């Protein structure tokens, strides 16, 4: 698995698949998850795009430095991976925390972004979500990753999937529970401490944007996605019925279809102003 060196020396691991000469798509996952969380997108996306799936610092095969972490620094980690692959600009797909990282890149480095897919994410932290993350942090600090209660994981997994498979058989839940407690808490802190001014600056985003969310997402409800779609000038909103926060593994067919339709449309649009270098 290749790695890129971040500006502070941290090694960021990533996977690359798909045709080398195809349009580049960079995939950024959320809290406690790594590139494996895109397993159900690997073949559908890899047939048409050059996919670069990143292990954020603190998870997977990337380095796990001590905290504190910072989402702006983690956005620079993504750019370091793009630089290592010789990609000047790419389509960014970010889910949950990865969606915030993608927003930061689109605002601070718009020339690096051809389009955005923002899945199950938000542009601001509500007080109730801050309290929830603080509870998760206490559980993990006191009992390790196994201390994360089933109630906590139910925020990430919709009732339909829980009924069929249970919490502990969910792909994203299994990946998250393999995380190391200290970096997991550092990622939680990074989400909690993100500069609130970013929520105003996303109005500056000019890249074509797909905002996609599950109708049963409890952690980042549909209202969060509606706000994103209203603030970003070239955004469209898609709600996948019956899916929750992990919509890319709960409803992979619907997620893949809608995202690929969006990417294909951007790539085939002769009026698109998104950069084509790289």
Backbone angles phi, psi at 128, to 5 degrees: -65, -35
pLDDT digits (tens, 9 = 90+) for 136-153: 999 999 999 888 877 777
Cβ 40 vs Cβ 27: under 8 Å: no
Report the alpha-carbon distance of residue 192 to residue 114 in Å, rounded: 28
Residues 51, 61, 252, 266, CA torsion sign: negative
pLDDT band at 100 (very low <50, low <70, confident <90, very high): very high
Mean pLDDT of the 170-184 span: 84
pLDDT band at 170 (very low <50, low <70, confident <90, very high): low
Q: What angle do the packed helices 181-192 and 127-143 form, to 10 degrees?
A: 160
Q: Are strands 235-240 and 3-5 parallel, antiparallel or unpaired?
A: unpaired
Report the alpha-carbon distance of residue 244 to residue 252 in Å, rounded: 12
pLDDT digits (tens, 9 = 90+) for 28-78: 999 999 999 999 999 999 999 999 999 999 999 999 999 999 999 999 999
Q: What 3-state DSSP class applies to 269?
A: coil
Over 60: is that where the pLDDT of 163 sits?
no
Higher pLDDT, 132 or 170: 132
Length of the chain (residues): 278
Distances 178 to 14, 89, 129, 145 between C-alpha atoms, Å: 18, 32, 23, 7
pLDDT digits (tens, 9 = 90+) for 206-258: 999 999 999 999 999 999 999 999 999 999 999 999 899 999 988 999 999 99
pLDDT digits (tens, 9 = 90+) for 186-210: 999 999 988 888 788 999 999 999 9
What is the predicted pLDDT for the residue at 197? 80
CATH 3.90.1300.10 fits 3-267, yes or no: no
What is the predicted pLDDT for the residue at 270? 72
Mean pLDDT of the 104-133 span: 96
Q: How many CB atoms lie within 10 A of CB 12?
A: 24
What is the predicted pLDDT for the residue at 168? 40
């Amino acid at each position: 698995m290749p790695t890129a060196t971040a500006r502070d020396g941290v090694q960021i691991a990533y996977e690359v698949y798909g045709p080398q000469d195809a349009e580049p798509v960079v995939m950024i996952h959320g809290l406690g998850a790594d590139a494996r969380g895109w397993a159900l997108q690997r073949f559908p996306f890899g047939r048409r795009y050059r996919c670069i799936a990143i292990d954020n610092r603190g998870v997977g095969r990337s380095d796990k430095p001590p905290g504190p972490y910072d989402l702006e620094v983690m956005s620079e980690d993504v750019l370091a991976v793009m630089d290592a692959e010789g990609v000047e600009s790419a389509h960014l797909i970010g889910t949950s925390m990865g969606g915030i990282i993608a927003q930061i890149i689109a605002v601070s480095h718009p020339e690096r972004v051809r389009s955005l897919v923002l899945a199950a994410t938000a542009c601001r932290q509500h007080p109730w979500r801050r309290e929830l993350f603080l509870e998760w942090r206490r559980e993990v600090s006191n009992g390790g990753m196994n201390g994360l209660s089933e109630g906590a994981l139910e925020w990430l997994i919709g009732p339909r999937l829980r009924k069929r498979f249970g919490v502990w058989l969910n792909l994203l839940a299994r990946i998250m529970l393999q995380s190391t407690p200290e970096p997991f808490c550092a990622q939680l802190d990074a989400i909690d401490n993100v500069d609130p001014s970013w929520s105003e600056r996303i109005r500056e985003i000019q890249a074509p944007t797909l905002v996609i969310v599950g109708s049963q997402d409890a952690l980042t409800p549909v209202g969060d996605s509606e706000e994103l779609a209203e603030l970003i000038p070239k955004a469209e909103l898609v709600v996948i019925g019956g899916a929750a926060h992990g919509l890319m593994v709960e409803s992979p067919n619907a997620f893949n279809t809608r995202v690929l339709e969006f990417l294909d449309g951007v790539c085939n649009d002769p009026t698109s102003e998104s950069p084509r270098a790289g």
